[in-house]
Amino acid sequence: MADNLSEALKTLKLSSADSVEGCLDCLLKALAHNNVETSEKIQEMGVLAMMPALLSAQNSCTPKVANIIAEVAKNEFMRSPCVEAGLIPPLVQLLNSKDQEILLQTGRALGNICYDSHEGRSAVDAAGGAQIVAEHIKSLAESTDPATGKLLTVFCGMLMNYSNDNDSLQAQLIIMGVIPTLVRLLGVHSQNTALTEMCLIAFGNLAELESSKEQFASTNIAEELVRLFRKQVEHEKREMIFEVLAPLAENDVIKLQLVDAGLVECLLEVVAQTVDSDRDEDVAQLKTASDLMVLLLLGDESMQKLFEGGKGSVFQRVLSWVPSNNHQLQLAGALAIANFARNDGNCIHMVDTGIVQKLLELLDRHVEEGNVTVQHAALSALRNLAIPVVNKSKMLLAGVSDVVLKFLKSEMPPVQFKLLGTLRMLIDTQADAAEQLGTNAKLVERLVEWCDAKDHAGVMGESNRLLSALIRHSKSKDVVQTVIQGGGVKHLVTMATSEHMIMQNEALVALGLIAALNLDCAEKDFVAANLVQVLHKLLKDEHSAPEIKYNSMILICSIMGSEPLHKEVQSLAFIDVVSSLRSHENKTVAHQASLTEQRLTAQS
């Protein structure tokens, strides 16, 4: 074989027309026998440099030459040499041929050269190869004869290799309009397994790009994918479709199209088939299907359509996941409830139909050694359900705060964050609950600890906001006393300097209540935290919002009864700053400035 090969390569270099075909046959045979070794020999003997001339001749040998290049380019080490030998321009030229065999072998050659090769892709891009291939696919899309199916598969594979993991080349294909063409292929050639798989892989690549979503949304991709999904029984095939559905379902228009096409029913069926199995592929399918279900519910229209006023069969099925023994389903069920709970009407209906109890039972199962993602999801759902005012007292009566407090010992920031948010939502406007929680020394102690959680800005912010909310909603001297004793005052003073106006304001109102209800006890903490300097800075800062200035002045008036604080106010010449605010454009601020000035003058 080796001798024959050497002989053939020498003959090829001499290149007498009659003997070329025999040499090419010998090369193809040798490549089939040992591709790597033969390719090395071809490179050594400089045969690649002869290929452009052989390709340009365009005769009966042309498909064999292209076939040899396709075989050689299966080896990574041969792709750059193929480009350097100038093979891309003549190969792209051959894409204009009418001969199906030439097109097939040329498509293979270009596809293999592009595989994982930056040089290959750049050369094909420069020669305009992708555009010609895209036009071929478009013109052949409706043809169903087997030979055309094979050619389409090769061309789709070539475009995939050309653009894989390359955003700018994928964007180029999208501009060329390949998406509607590929969707059409999926419809016409659904019986052709190789071609549908190639389309799915191409979709998976292109769907990651934001710019593709609009084009996908203008096609019937949702119907085609759901139709294809229904036909699949093999795990691998379903997995391929899932990989396209997930990025597409991030788009709200496509979410609704998928719901209308019946994807949800397919997903529920997958869940039912796999829930009791412990085979790896079934566990993976269950996760993918239930995750996708939750993703579909992130769209407002698709979510509302599936909610169906709380009567929807899908909504009911998803609810049944919460009490299941499968962690993945518990998680998906809780996340689905959190997604359904995105408007007041849904939240009120769900609380009235007893969903809170299901979530509390779920949380109770996860207190000790619990699953953190399930805890986080269930707390997210409760937090959303607690937003409408009418739900708060019902949820408090159901014992939500008691169950949530069991997670105070959690060391997981995502759980801490949701726990704090849930309690803050629950006590909003609920004085009795705010007082009950605000006098819970253990809770306040934990909040003060988390107010220092500098590594977790979310937890730190929520702890401060809950500390302030306990005081603002309870207006209770006992709560103020608990917060002072727990060391919370300094954190509220720091919160008043936050970059978020809403947090500044909440802090100032809480500090005002502390000063009004128990100035004697708070005095030392106010001094240590430099409260007066902070207020002076807020009033001087021209960027401070009117409500910040107003509440800062209210607070100054409240602390004037303390001798050390009064002295600090005098030493910082507050009167000048306050006087300048009498002409403030906001009437409430201007009026409060006059009152504050009178107070400062009277006590100076």
What is the model's pLDDT at position 262?
Answer: 94
- Tokens representing 325? 């023994």
Task: Name which of 252, 254, 333 is nearest 286 in CA terms.
Answer: 333
How far is 115 from 259, CA to CA, in rounded Å? 36
Average pLDDT over residues 412-424: 96
User: How many residues are there in the chain?
Assistant: 604
> What letter does residue 583 receive in the DSSP assignment?
G
Handedness of CA 182, 186, 192, 193 (dihedral sign): positive
What is the model's pLDDT at position 442?
Answer: 96
Report whether pLDDT(17) > 60.
Answer: no
Average pLDDT over residues 533-551: 93
What is the model's pLDDT at position 368?
Answer: 81
How far is 548 from 242, CA to CA, in rounded Å? 51
- Which residue bears the tokens 């704090």? 420
Average pLDDT over residues 513-524: 95
The mean pLDDT of the chain is 93
What is the model's pLDDT at position 7?
Answer: 67
Kindly report which listed range (2-16, 115-129, 251-265, 476-490) carries the lowest average pLDDT score.
2-16
Query: Do 428 and 469 contact (CB within 8 A), yes or no?
Result: yes
E strands present in 324-387: none
Task: Name which of 397, 323, 336, 414 is nearest 363 in CA terms.
Answer: 323
Query: Do 39 and 72 contact (CB within 8 A), yes or no?
Result: yes
* Cα 454 to Cα 443, 451, 463, 464, distances in angstroms: 19, 8, 12, 12
How far is 29 from 8, CA to CA, in rounded Å? 11
% pLDDT > 70, the chain: 97
Average pLDDT over residues 573-594: 91
What is the model's pLDDT at position 121?
Answer: 96
Report whether pLDDT(288) > 60.
Answer: yes
Task: Name which of 313, 299, 302, 380 is nearest 347 in CA terms.
Answer: 380
Average pLDDT over residues 385-395: 97
Average pLDDT over residues 352-358: 95
What is the model's pLDDT at position 312?
Answer: 85
pLDDT tens per residue across span 327-353: 999 999 999 999 999 999 999 999 999
Q: Is 296 exposed, middle or buried (0-12, 13-18, 19+ CB in 10 A)?
A: buried
What is the model's pLDDT at position 15?
Answer: 56
* Cα 72 to Cα 7, 53, 450, 571, distances in angstroms: 19, 17, 63, 86
- Which residue bears the tokens 């095939």? 237
Average pLDDT over residues 59-77: 94
Average pLDDT over residues 187-201: 92
DSSP 110-174: HHHHHTT-HHHHHHHHHHTHHHHHHHHHHHHTT---HHHHHHHHHHHHHHHHHHTT-HHHHHHHH
183-186 contacts at long range (C-beta below 8 A, 24 or more positions apart): 183/216, 183/219, 183/220, 183/221, 183/224, 184/141, 184/142, 185/137, 185/141, 185/152, 185/156, 186/221, 186/224, 186/225, 186/228
How far is 113 from 161, CA to CA, in rounded Å? 9
Q: Which residues contact 458 (CB under 8 A, 6 or more apart)?
A: 413, 417
> What letter does residue 87 receive in the DSSP assignment?
-
pLDDT tens per residue across span 220-269: 999 999 999 999 888 888 999 999 999 999 999 999 999 999 999 999 99
pLDDT tens per residue across span 137-177: 999 999 988 999 999 999 999 999 999 989 999 999 999 99
Q: Rounded to two decimals, what is the model's pTM?
A: 0.84
Q: 327-340 vs 372-385: helix axis angle to the nearest 10?
A: 20
